Structure 1
Amino acid sequence: MAVESCKFGIVYRRFKPHLFMVLAQVGYTFLYFLTEASFNRGMNPHVHITYRHIVAGVVMLPFAYFLERKLRPKLTLPMFIEIFVLSLLGVGLTLNMYFASLRYTSPTFLSSMVNTIASLTFIAAVVLRLEAIDVTSPRGMAKILGTLVSLTGVMTMTLYKGPILRKLWGAVVHIEGNKIHENWLKGTILTAASCVTWSIWYIMQAFTLKKYPAQLSLTTWMSFIGAAQSAVFTACIEHKRTAWIIGFDINLWCIIYAGVVCSGLIIFIQLWCTEEKGPVFVTMFNPLSTVLVALLAYFVLGEELYLGSIVGAAIAIIGLYLLLWGKERDQEVQIKSQEPLHLTYEEQKESKLHVIISEEKALQMDP
């Protein structure tokens, strides 16, 4: 029984980042539909972003203050400026473009385009030497091929529709509001721009975490600073005071869910996984959200599902597993190469003693 428990613990520790990222994508899946319902009811996307990050900051603050009191580095002016830029890329600029595009597109399209972040992040990580690639090894080729295959799946879902699948039943849940998306081109441009800045944000996290290795505190800072940035932006483009009034309806629940789960818990999970596995690992789970959104829209909301979505999703998932396989092999090679570094002090002395004895014997045998 103890052996089985030990084996389970080893497996859990090894695949804990994978489990956390799957749960994060499930959390994002529900967010797509909650925000669409909220925006269709008249919620301003920029007001939504401001409020949700205020909620996230308030919720995360006690945990960051007490749990990371000894771990949190001193906040210098250069570090604050770096966090300010990180907040702008992750909240103030990116999310405002991202959620504004939902007014002109659909949740399925939006979740499909987000998958391009993985490819962009992978390319940037290779250029900045955050991701090592050995093109002569199977694991290196798997990472390259996985990225290309995943991107192919995303493009298939976006550009190819194919025949409509027959609905098995009617909609279980109805999202009220206007579902007519009037400017698809504008929405596509906003989504593409947000994907580029989002990719830069993931890369920048890896550098910031090396200097500020306190994920809870960093999440809290980004939430408050991002909320302030979004508030300034919203005040410049939205002059109606009624836009800031939130009733006890779907808008309130959407803000609470987005703030606590997505801008708080999930951002913390992503920061932790970025430090453990790197930014490419985090972004490669985005295709899972695409599949979940398409399935939920089809089975629960009664939306149309095209054959191209299924084919593209399958291709994207294959690419995801190829890249993850390559990264796992990379980690195993790295662990094996570092094994001598984990010897205890006594083991190191014993190893050195064996080397000295061997050298003395070699000298004695040398004529």
Structure 2
Amino acid sequence: MKPSSLHNVYLRFKPLLLMVLAQLSYTFLYFITEASFNHGMNPHVYVTYRHIVAGIAMFPFAYFLERKIRPKLTLALFLEIFVLSLVGVTLTLNMYFASLRYTSPTFVASVVNTVAAVTFVIAVVLRLETLDLRNARGMAKVLGTLVSLAGVTIMTVYKGPAARNPGHPPIHIQRNNIIQEQWLKGSFLTIASSITWSAMYIMQAITLKRYPAQLSLTTWMCFLGAAQSAVFTVIVARKPADWRIGLNIDLWSTIYGGVVVSGLIVFIQLWCTDKRGPVFATMFNPISTILVAILAYFVFGEKLFLGSIVGAVVVIGGLYLLLWGKEGDHQEAQIKTKEQSDPKISQGEP
């Protein structure tokens, strides 16, 4: 095969390869943060430090790459970004990572797949999303949303028997025993974080229209979210020892979460969304769910409960139903954009 042909193949599959890489990175994030929390790292301190690191890592790229497109930051716009950071970083991630202490990486990774469904519900309520129940794609969006929410309900209220591990896991992470009360607490925190996460997507889309500088907006959200989270953490974690981290898993999880996930992976997702659309980026989420379940069971020796397995399958099925319905909207939007840019298309000319 000629070098030019190999290059064309690479360009064709580049978005797919990048999204798989993103999901692999998210998979590792679940385990490194769980290990850090079990080592004694406070989840709220982690969120604060992680976003300080992420903001510092992203600042030079945002400053130099978006100098020409970054609009003037007015007081009203700053307050809007402040609220967006409060919802998308402070509330979402503090609840999200706190829930990891009370449930399991498999559960948390599965519930993430409902973000698309919850976002769709919020968009319909706010009349930002059109819903036509007279066609198959409209019905698929409704059915996919209901199925996803049903899957979360199964995972929350029903644990069921644990699957027996056939051998001895090669890697062992010290875990606290999770009682049913903690499981319910963690479940509600995970669901609540999914709701605020979905609200963040809606708010971010609105803010980007007034501040069309994605890297700069993300950097602002990192710094503001870190400051907000620090204030909250000072209230709930008053021991100075909670803020100290050494050259151990706590430091590496913070650097990894800040530089790789909040920095590099966010940039990859923004690039893929720009090139292939939001539906393309969302459809890869189940990869992380499946990888987390496999690694948790066979490598780290985590107990997999029947309720989590059944619920995860139902949630993923609902997600793809919803995405199939939304893919039609994305294709229609692309056709309208082409018609507006080329009058010949709208006139039916070849």
Same fold by TM-score, threshold 0.5 exceeded? Answer: yes
**Structure 2 portions without partners, runs of 5+:** none
Q: For the Cα contact (< 8 Å) 1:274–1:282, is it kept in 2?
A: yes
**Cα pair distance change 1:318/1:93, threshold 3 Å:** closer
**Cα pair distance change 1:295/1:44, threshold 3 Å:** same
Q: For the Cα contact (< 8 Å) 1:90–1:198, is it kept in 2?
A: yes
**Cα pair distance change 1:224/1:66, threshold 3 Å:** same
CA displacement at 1:272 relative to structure 2: 5.3
Deviations for 1:291-323, whole angstroms, at most 9, x for unmatched residues? 332222111112222344333333333322222
After TM superposition, the structure 1 = structure 2 runs for residues 71-82 of structure 1, keeping only pairs within 5 Å, are 71-82=69-80
> Paired residue for 1:358?
none
Task: Using the aligned pairs only, state the percent identity.
Answer: 64
Could you tell me how far apart the structure 2 residues matched to 1:311 and 1:236 are? 39
**Cα pair distance change 1:55/1:266, threshold 3 Å:** same
Question: Could you tell me which amino acid in structure 2 is paired with residue 241 of structure 1?
Answer: P
> Paired residue for 1:154?
152
Question: Could you tell me which amino acid in structure 2 is paired with residue 150 of structure 1?
Answer: S
Deviations for 1:92-140, whole angstroms, at most 9, x for unmatched residues? 2222222222222222233333333332211111233333332222222
> Paired residue for 1:363?
none
Larger mean Cα displacement after TM superposition, 183-192 or 257-266: 183-192
> Paired residue for 1:239?
238
Determine whether 1:331 maps to 2:327: no
Larger mean Cα displacement after TM superposition, 300-309 or 226-235: 300-309
> Paired residue for 1:108?
106
Larger mean Cα displacement after TM superposition, 23-32 or 74-83: 23-32
Could you tell me how far apart the structure 2 residues matched to 1:10 and 1:141 are? 35
Larger mean Cα displacement after TM superposition, 247-256 or 39-48: 39-48
Partner SS, residue 114 of structure 1: helix
Deviations for 1:59-101, whole angstroms, at most 9, x for unmatched residues? 1111111111112111111111111111111122222222222
Which of 81, 87, 90 is the matching residue for 2:85?
87
Larger mean Cα displacement after TM superposition, 178-187 or 204-213: 178-187
Q: For the Cα contact (< 8 Å) 1:64–1:217, is it kept in 2?
A: yes
Question: Could you tell me which amino acid in structure 1 is paired with residue 316 of structure 2?
Answer: I
Question: Could you tell me which amino acid in structure 1 is paired with residue 326 of structure 2?
Answer: K
Partner SS, residue 187 of structure 1: helix
Could you tell me how far apart the structure 2 residues matched to 1:134 and 1:185 are? 36
RMSD of aligned residue pairs (Cα, Å): 3.1
Could you tell me how far apart the structure 1 residues matched to 2:8 and 2:300 are? 41
Could you tell me how far apart the structure 1 residues matched to 2:18 and 2:328 are? 20
Deviations for 1:122-162, whole angstroms, at most 9, x for unmatched residues? 11112333333322222222222222233333333444444
**Cα pair distance change 1:180/1:136, threshold 3 Å:** closer
**Cα pair distance change 1:95/1:221, threshold 3 Å:** same
Which of 155, 162, 165 is the matching residue for 2:163?
165
> Paired residue for 2:293?
294
> Paired residue for 2:205?
206
Which of 141, 144, 164 is the matching residue for 1:143?
141
> Paired residue for 1:255?
254
CA displacement at 1:212 relative to structure 2: 1.2
Question: Could you tell me which amino acid in structure 1 is paired with residue 188 of structure 2?
Answer: I
CA displacement at 1:227 relative to structure 2: 0.8
> Paired residue for 2:185?
186
Report how many aligned residue pairs link the two structures: 345
Q: For the Cα contact (< 8 Å) 2:245–2:251, is it kept in 1?
A: yes
Question: Could you tell me which amino acid in structure 1 is paired with residue 63 of structure 2?
Answer: Y
Partner SS, residue 217 of structure 1: helix
**Cα pair distance change 1:19/1:140, threshold 3 Å:** farther
Partner SS, residue 101 of structure 2: coil
Question: Could you tell me which amino acid in structure 1 is paired with residue 202 of structure 2?
Answer: I
CA displacement at 1:342 relative to structure 2: 2.4
Question: Could you tell me which amino acid in structure 2 is paired with residue 128 of structure 1?
Answer: L
Greater radius of gyration (CA): 1
Question: Could you tell me which amino acid in structure 1 is paired with residue 193 of structure 2?
Answer: S
Could you tell me how far apart the structure 1 residues matched to 2:24 and 2:227 are? 28
Larger mean Cα displacement after TM superposition, 28-37 or 38-47: 28-37
> Paired residue for 1:59?
57
